[in-house]
């Protein structure tokens, strides 16, 4: 099992053998964010298949490898690929990866994704800093965990100091950066217009099928979290366009250069 302590120990040993000491920061690269890995200097690669606690994904646009390199002077590990709950029904599929990163010595996890917008002022092509999230699925990757540590405080799930830093870099780079609440749905089907109206009434600004489980796992592990969404479409009922995964990937590719450039600048300045 990916969360088996022996699998995590073997993964940490493999990471240390391949890369040496852990970097302070790791990044999960969602759809549209992969070019950031190609900007790193001195990059070394290892496939998930060599890391016993890492689960591979079959979703288009995800490569299933970990890359470690430098963004400026900052060493960074980037994960090209994440498992989604809709693939297996298991919202703890990323537990092995997240816990291995923490056991290796990583302190901060940056989570990126592609998402749909619920707000006209956050159109496709925008970047959104995640200020908070809504777990619409109401599933937890911590189900079955024992002890007081399972009751994780999610009041400041997305570290305020990291969000402040992201805003300052966006201002310096003249990169427009919205900020809002991300709502997690399981998928893989897209939402109905009625669901989108409900989420908007709840206060959600963007919707997607990832990130929240990893945030919960990371907070449980004691990692600081920063979340970023690349907006690829208006959510159901808010435009005349049909929602497809292929269209999401096309928009993500069109916007990937700016997103990746901002991510690289932000990481370089830490």
The string of DSSP codes covering 6-37 is HHHHHHHHHHHHHH-SPPSEEEEE-TT-THHH
Percent of the chain with pLDDT over 70: 98
Cα 270 from Cα 119, distance rounded (Å)? 31
Residue whose token pair is 């208006």: 234
Mean pLDDT value across residues 90-95: 96
> What CATH number belongs to 5-268?
3.40.50.1580
The domain ranges of the chain are: 5-268
pTM, rounded to two decimals: 0.94
DSSP E strands in 150-245: the ranges are 178-184, 206-208, 224-234
Angle between helices 245-268 and 160-173 (to 10 degrees): 90
Task: Judge contact between 123 and 238, C-beta under 8 A.
Answer: no
Q: Which of 114, 136, 157, 170 is the catalytic position?
A: 114
Pick the catalytic residue from 53, 62, 77, 139.
Answer: 62
- Which of 7, 22, 31, 139 does the annotation list as catalytic? 31
Give catalytic status of residue 265 as yes or no: no
- Per-residue pLDDT of 14-53, as tens digits, reads 999 999 999 999 999 998 999 999 999 999 999 999 999 9
């Amino acid at each position: 099992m990916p969360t088996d302590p022996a699998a995590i120990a073997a993964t940490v040993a493999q990471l240390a053998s391949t890369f040496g000491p852990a970097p302070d920061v790791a990044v999960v690269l969602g759809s549209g964010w992969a070019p950031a890995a190609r900007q790193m200097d001195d990059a070394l690669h290892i496939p998930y298949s060599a890391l016993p606690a890492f689960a591979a994904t079959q979703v288009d646009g995800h490569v299933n490898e970990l890359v470690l390199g430098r963004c400026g002077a900052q060493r960074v590990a980037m994960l090209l690929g994440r498992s989604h709950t809709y693939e297996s029904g298991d919202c703890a599929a990323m537990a092995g990866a997240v816990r291995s990163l923490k056991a290796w010595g990583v302190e901060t996890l940056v989570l990126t994704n592609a998402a749909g917008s619920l707000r006209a002022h956050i159109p496709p092509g925008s970047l959104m800093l995640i200020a908070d999230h809504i777990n619409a699925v109401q599933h937890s990757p911590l189900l079955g965990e024992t002890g007081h540590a399972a009751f994780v405080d999610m009041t400041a799930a997305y570290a305020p100091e990291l969000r402040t830093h992201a805003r300052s870099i966006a201002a310096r780079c003249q990169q427009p950066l919205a900020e809002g609440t991300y709502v997690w749905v399981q998928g893989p089907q897209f939402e109905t217009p009625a669901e989108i109206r409900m989420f908007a009434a709840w206060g959600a600004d963007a919707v997607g099928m990832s990130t929240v489980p990893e945030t919960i796992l990371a907070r449980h592990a004691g990692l600081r979290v920063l979340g970023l969404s690349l907006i690829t479409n208006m959510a159901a009922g808010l435009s005349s366009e049909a929602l497809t995964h292929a269209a999401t990937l096309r928009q993500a590719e069109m916007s990937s250069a700016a997103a990746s450039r901002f991510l690289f600048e932000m990481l370089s300045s830490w």
